[in-house]
Each structure stands twice: as C-alpha cells, then as structure tokens.
Amino acid sequence: MPGDHLSNEEFFTKLGDLLENNRTKGHGTVFLTQKRLTFDTDFSPPPAAKIADDPLWDTHPQNPLPVVIRASNNKSSSRPGTDREDIAKTKLSTVVQPDQLDSFYGRYADVCKAGMSGLKKRDKKKGKKDKKKKRKGAVGETKG
C-alpha cells in the first residue's frame, strides 16, 4: 500500500489533529507504531538456503532502510447511558527515509509533547506553593 502513505508533512498535521481531538474529547487513546519498512521495497530477503546459512541475515543489510510510522486512534461506538459517541477509526502512516530520520524525530517529539498535555506536569505543586507564598508575603507586607 505505498499509495496510502502520507508525506511527512501531512502526517504531522493529521497527527496533531488526532491528538487535538483526543484532548477535546477528554478521553481516548492514540497509538503510535514504528517499524522497519520491508514490504514492497527493493529490500528482499535472500533465498532460503542463504537464510539457513546465516540466521542473522537481516542484521547487516547493504543499504539503510526506511522506517514506517503508523498512528491511529481508538474506535469508539456510542453506548446508552454514557456520553460516548461514534468515532470512526483513523489510521495514518508515513515512510521516513533514513537520511531524514533525525529531522523527523525532532518534529515528532514537538508534536507529541504538544498533544500529550494530559500527562502530569512537572513540579505542579511546588510552583503553586511558591506562588501562594509570594502572594501571602505580598499581602502581609501591605497589611503591615
């Protein structure tokens, strides 16, 4: 299915949408998968005899191989008594060429960090405490 793969740019915008939808919905899951691309490329396993000779044949390919990245959400169907809605499964995939891996992962990290805002923030309590202390200090000063 090489025709189904999105370009890296498109993938990022759609992945951003996927994470954004998940955030506005308030619950749900986003799956991300990465794997070596071996389907429909010029990389083909050597003949069977050679595989038997060398069980580690795939550990030293001649050329670097592209990596396929997939993303999907969870399908959900409406259920009486809950606020669940019908949401179709969305599947995205893109192929990253070996020479673009580093730049791709730089952007990938940014998109994921922005989208996964539900996770715990760092030092949340500490920051609030400090702010309150400061405020209290300010109030005390004005009173005094």
Pick the closer one to other proteins by CB: 6 or 32.
32
Rounded Cα distance between 108 and 67, Å, is 14
**Interacting residue with other proteins among 28, 76, 87, 93 (CB under 8 A):** 28
What's phi and psi for 122, nearest 5 deg? -75, 135
46 forms part of the interface with other proteins (CB under 8 A): no
Judged by phi (left if over 0) then psi (alpha if -120 to 50, else beta), residue 128 lies in alpha
Rounded Cα distance between 10 and 7, Å, is 5
Rounded Cα distance between 6 and 95, Å, is 8
Stretch that binds other proteins, among 2-10, 60-68, 86-94 (CB under 8 A): 60-68
Look at residues 84, 111, 80 and name the one whose alpha carbon lies nearest to residue 27: 84
75 forms part of the interface with other proteins (CB under 8 A): no
90 forms part of the interface with other proteins (CB under 8 A): no
**Interacting residue with other proteins among 7, 44, 59, 77 (CB under 8 A):** 59
60 forms part of the interface with other proteins (CB under 8 A): yes
116 forms part of the interface with other proteins (CB under 8 A): yes
Q: Are 130 and 52 in contact (CB under 8 A)?
A: no
Question: What does the block give as tokens for 67?
Answer: 């990596």
Residues found near other proteins in the complex (CB under 8 A): 19, 22-23, 26-36, 38, 55-56, 58-61, 63-67, 96, 98, 101-102, 104-106, 108-109, 112-113, 115-122, 125, 128-129, 132-133, 136
